[in-house]
Each structure stands twice: as C-alpha cells, then as structure tokens.
Structure 1
Amino acid sequence: MSPPRPATRRRIPIAIGAVAAAGVVGLGAFYGLGSFKRGTGGDPSCAGAVELARKISPLAHGEVAALTMATTPLRLPDLAFEDAEGKLRKLSEWRGKTVLVNLWATWCVPCRKEMPALENLQAKLGGKDFEVVAINIDTRDPEKPKNFLKEANLTRLGYFADQKAKVFQDLKNIGKALGMPTSVLVDAQGCEIATLAGPAEWASEDAIKLIKGAIQPMKAGS
C-alpha cells in the first residue's frame, strides 16, 4: 500500500487553522472591531485624553485604584437627559470642563452610599473647570430620587435624570457601562480619560489628587 499523500495529512491542521482564524476575527468584532464600525472608538481628536490618562495613571491608587484608564481614543456619545425642570440637556453642554459623569439609581445600594462623596467632590472642586454630572436612571417614580437627595441633604449636585435609562444603554453599547454605579471621567473635549465600574470614595484625598491631575492640563492651556 502506498503511503498517505502529504496533502491529505495537512488537510486537518489547515481546517483547524481556518476555524481558529475565524474565531479570532469573531472575537475581534465582538470585543473591539465592532466599536470602530459603529464609529464610537478610535477618534484621533481624543488622542490627548489617552496621553493625559497615561500621565495621571500613577494617581489611580488607593480609593480610586479600580479606575480603568483610557488606552484607546474614545469620544463619548452626546448623552441626553433632563434637568430638574424637565428641560432636555446634553453632555456636550459641558464642553470646556472636565466632567465626572455618574449614573445612579435609588434601587442601587452602592449608588446611594456613593452620593455623599460625589456631593463633597462637587463642593470641593466644582466650578468653571470641573463638574460632577450625576444622572439618575430610576424608571418609575420620578419623585423618588428627588426626595432621596432632599432627605440626604445633597444640595450641591445638580439633578439630572433619564427615566428611559438610555444613557446607560448608550454607555453600555461602547463598553463603558457594565453595572451600577458607573462613572466616566471626561475631558473638556468630551473624550474618555478613565472609567469606573462600581462605587468609589470620590471625596477622598486619592480621588481629589487624580481629578486635579485631570483638570490641570486644561487650565494650563486656557
């Protein structure tokens, strides 16, 4: 009997290689390439935010060690929500400021615990260069989050809400919202500096130093 032809013996590994390659392409589309197709990632005009993230990354320790610093230039969607009077607001209104976007809800226990720290952060650093934009995503009783803030005496934070929770879905679509609370540190051009899934002690010395580090480059260029 003649020995098997080499082509026959190579067929199986070639087939396996093709399947593996297809798998890699599939994963790429799921985890990363899809965002480029949607136009939500790789914005060259956000390269400065990535460089800023690299510079202040040594400050992401202690109470803010869980922050994920931006490594890909990403402009956030122009999130739409309402203020306390029901007026439509958009994230782009805060261009020119460093912003900490925070999504919270009254049914989220870590969110409620985090709110006083966000209030104190706004009290310490809020102004012409920085603002906390905390967006409530309760979808039922619109008075419940307002009452929570009033009863907790949280008066420094502006009240913003999205009863359809579309802001969460918009951030989820670009991989920046996995649960609650979610916080995204955004530069003056609307680009991601860092993201945090979960609560943090935003009024801590660690957080204050990091936020100041994010604000300084903008102040230097103003």
Structure 2
Amino acid sequence: MNETRGISRRWPILGLAAIAGIAVGVAAVYVTETGKGNGADALAGVDCAPSIEAAGLLAPLAKGDVAAFRVATEPARLSELSFQTANGDKKSIADFKGQTVLLNLWATWCAPCRQEMPALDRLDAAHEGKDFSVVAVSIDTQDPAKPKKFLEEIGVKSLAFYGDPTTGIFTGLKGKGMAVGLPTTVLIDGEGCALGVMSGPAEWDSEDAKALIGAASKSI
C-alpha cells in the first residue's frame, strides 16, 4: 500500500518533467506528431449519449486507488482508434466490440507506466477470456523491439503487445481532452464509447479499481 501511495505522489512530478521535455522524445510526442489514422473524425461522439448516463453511475466508485478517475461528461466514440499487434497487423477498439476495454497508453521512458504495468498484467490474467480486455498500447517511437523486450524483462505474461509508433492514438485522445501525459488509461464500454479516463498510474488490480471496472463490466 505504501508503495502504491508513493507512486501516486510521484507521478505528477514525473508528468511535469515529461511535459517540460526532460524525458527523451516527450516534446515530439506531445507537440509534433500528427496522428495518422486517428484524427478527430475517428473520435466523433455520435451514438454515445447513452454511455454518459452509465458513466455517471461510476462517479461514486472513483475513490482510493482510482480517485483520479474522471467520468465522461461528453459523448466520445473511440471505436476507430487503431494500433498494431506484435506482428504488425492493424487492430482497433472496434475489434473489441461487446467487451469493456481498459485502454492504457504507455512508453518505456515513462517511469510511472513501467511501475503500473505488473498490476495491469495481473488484472488481465485474472479476467482472461471474459467480456473484458486490457489493451495496453506502447507509443514508443524508436526501436519497436524495445517495448517488447521491456515487457519480457518485467515478466509480463498475460498482456498482449500492442504498439502505435505514430503516436496517433495519443494525439486522438489528446484532441478530446482525454490525454495530457502518460500513462493515460481510458475505460471504454462495449459500444466503443468512453466511460471515463485516468491520468497517471493506478494499482489496476486493487479492490478499488476492480469495483470501478466491475460496475462497467459484469464479468468482474
């Protein structure tokens, strides 16, 4: 628990450092990437109005380890946000239709991202094969082997590898006010609509997190 609180206290400082350009390549990610294939049209908020009511029910559960979770107040469809599999095949949120998705954006240079990855892996392993998926997308822009090697080094066994070296998925979320730094985690319903977003790390297999996600996904 002390370690988790330590993470929570450290991430804003690290996030400010990243925004300031201290972390290598951060400025390029936040400012210059154009986000090919993940523009504003892909995030149009059509047909997602009912999800806002559902999102409102999650507000009382945004506490403890997930106190920083912000419920969605504006409709946002995220179905067309795309990324690549480990083999380079294209995949999108639309491929997870019918599943509640915890979309996590991370990078190897982001220290809080690295610290929360084991919890994401445990969460995914505990609910594998049910109507819920953890989709962790690396936005490392350099050597594509680096994030894969990192996951191997820390013993990630359940999470599938996804990457977006264009950083378009980050740019798309940033354009909707859902991403200001890393890690960014978005809870998405089975229709591809945003339910809420978490800026900064969390212990995603904690009881607080599971209660929040469970309110959106009956399988947890």
Normalised TM-score (structure 2):
0.78
Q: How many residues align?
A: 180
Show the 5 A alignment for 1:1-222. 40=43, 42-43=45-46, 45-76=47-78, 78-216=80-218
For residues 140-163 of structure 1, the C-alpha deviation after alignment (integer angstroms, 9 at most, x for no partner) is 111111111111110100000011
Q: 4+ residue runs of structure 1 moved beyond 6 angstroms?
A: none
Distance in 2, Cα, partners of 1:85 & 1:133:
16
Q: Which ranges in structure 2 are unaligned for 5 or more consecutive residues?
A: 1-39
Distance (whole Å) between structure 1 residues aligned to residue 182 and residue 143 of structure 2: 18
- Distance in 1 (CA, whole Å) between partners of 2:90 and 2:179 is 22
CA distance in 1, matches of 2:132, 2:74: 23
Contact 1:41–1:72 (8 Å) recurs in 2: no
- Between 1:97-106 and 1:77-86, the stretch displaced more is 77-86
Equivalent-residue separation in structure 1 for 2:82 and 2:45 (angstroms):
22
Kindly name which structure, 1 or 2, has the bigger radius of gyration based on alpha carbons.
1
Pair 143,42 (structure 1): closer, same or farther in 2 beyond 3 Å: closer
| Higher relative helix content | 1
How far is the alpha carbon of 1:125 from its aligned partner? Answer: 2.4
Higher relative contact order (CA 8 A, sep 6+): 2
Identity %: 48
- Unaligned runs of at least 5 residues, structure 1: 1-36
Distance in 2 (CA, whole Å) between partners of 1:137 and 1:157 is 16
SS where residue 145 of structure 1 aligns? helix
Alpha-carbon displacement from aligned partner over 1:69-113 (angstroms, at most 9, x marks no partner): 011222125111110111111111001100000000000000000
Report the RMSD for the aligned CA atoms in angstroms.
Answer: 1.6
